[in-house]
Amino acid sequence: MYFVLKRKTLVTAISAVLVLCMTALVISGISSHQAVMTSTDVNWGLSFNSSDGIPTGNASAAKLKESNAYYVGDTSQKKIYLTFDAGYENGYTAHILDVLKKHHVQATFFLVGNFIQTAPELVKRMVSEGHIVGNHTMTHPDMSSISDMTSFQKEISGLEKLYKDTTGKEMLKLYRPPQGKFSEENLKMAKEMGYATIFWSLAYVDWYNDNQPTKEQAFDKLLPRIHNGAVVLLHSTSQTNSDILDELLTKWEEMGYHIAPITELISA
């Protein structure tokens, strides 16, 4: 019995270490020599080792563009792109919209079906105030595990329909893979559906409701690592993001950055 319990404990410990390692890989980055996309499943990751401050993705910008996918914009201009992922409404979106309006910023909200179903008035407000709503899938699954077009299309088209039923408008064809999990085949399927896939070049761990970062922890990530052409990912479920957004936008403006609509990234 002691051997069985000890073995279970060991397996649990190893599993926990693997989860921590995978999280560190996605959030903290990977080595730059891995920046080649393969046909296998991939977790989007970044390395911040470059001398110019521009992070390296685990798929190069050139390789991604072949599949109409992007993670960074023109690095010669002090232009950044602000995006929010929203799987559900957590009470902070209205304030976030107030701050964006104050700063005359157009953001992109990548929404999941649950958000549109439970907070339709906020979605309508996003649209009426000039923000872009993108596709974060209907149910937020691991899309890299989906290899057939029918299942992939169901997640994407289901959200398109829900958005149109709610707002009366067609959704712009912008797609963000849930959790940043993707495969080369996923990108091809999105492109076949007319979508551009949008990753990010700056994010931080802001999605744990019961373990929110402090203001100082947030600024330690979002200020030193901001860079030309940055696609910034924040979560609208985060109280910290709601609390700091006004000051954050002010600081970025003081640093000379202009927040541009994500459509400029694609058209460029």
List, for residues 203-235, the tens digit of each pLDDT value: 999 999 999 999 999 999 999 999 999 999 999
Domain boundaries, the chain: 55-267
Q: Does the pLDDT value for residue 254 go beyond 50?
A: yes
Q: Is the pLDDT of residue 116 over 60?
A: yes
Q: Within its chain, how far is the Cα of 112 from the centroid?
A: 12
CATH 3.10.580.10 applies to domain 55-267: no
Determine the average pLDDT of the residues in 115-137: 98
Between 5 and 185, residue with greater pLDDT: 185
Comparing CA positions, the residue from 171, 178, 160 lying closest to residue 235 is 178
How large is the average pLDDT for residues 36-57?
Answer: 78
Q: Count how many residues are written for the chain.
A: 268
**Separation between Cα atoms, residue 97 and residue 108, nearest integer Å:** 11
8 Å CB contact between 199 and 180: yes
Three-class SS state of 211: coil
Residue among 179, 170, 174 at smallest CA distance from 197: 174
Assess whether pLDDT exceeds 90 at residue 15.
no
- b vs e for 37-66, b when ≥16 Cβ sit within 10 Å of the residue's Cβ? beeebbbbbbbbeeeeeebbbbbebeebee
**Mean pLDDT on 96-120:** 98
pLDDT category, 41, cuts 50, 70, 90?
low
Please give the DSSP secondary-structure letter assigned to residue 230. Answer: B
Mean pLDDT, the chain, integer: 88
Alpha-carbon distance of 68 to 232, in angstroms, equals 18
What local confidence, expressed as pLDDT, does residue 267 receive? 86
The larger pLDDT score, comparing residue 8 to residue 139, is at: 139
Q: Is the pLDDT of residue 3 over 50?
A: no
pLDDT band at 79 (very low <50, low <70, confident <90, very high): very high
Catalytic residue numbers read: 85, 235
Helix (H, G, I), strand (E, B) or coil at 79: strand
Which one, of 184, 192, 196, lies nearest residue 37 by Cα? 184
As a whole number of angstroms, the distance between CA 105 and CA 100 comes to: 5
Amino acid 52: pLDDT: 77
Bridge-based pairing state of the strands 174-175 and 196-198: parallel
Please, which residues have CB within 8 angstroms of residue 74's CB and are 6 or more apart in sequence? Answer: 228, 229, 268
Residue 145 predicted with pLDDT over 90: yes
Under the banding of pLDDT at 50, 70 and 90, the label for residue 5 is very low
Residue 152: CB partners within 8 Å, gap ≥ 6? 143, 146, 186, 189, 190
Q: What is the mean pLDDT of residues 122-147?
A: 97
Q: What is the mean pLDDT of residues 54-69?
A: 94
Give the separation between CA 129 and CA 97, rounded to whole angstroms: 9
Contact 226, 80 (CB under 8 A): yes
- pLDDT category of residue 26 using cuts at 50, 70 and 90: very low
Read off the pLDDT of residues 241-253 as tens digits, 9 standing for 90 and up: 999 999 999 999 9
Distance CA 113, CA 214 (A): 29
- In this prediction, residue 12 carries a pLDDT of 40
pLDDT for the residue numbered 50: 75
pLDDT above 80 for 188:
yes
SS3 annotation, 51-65: CCCCCEECCCHHHHH
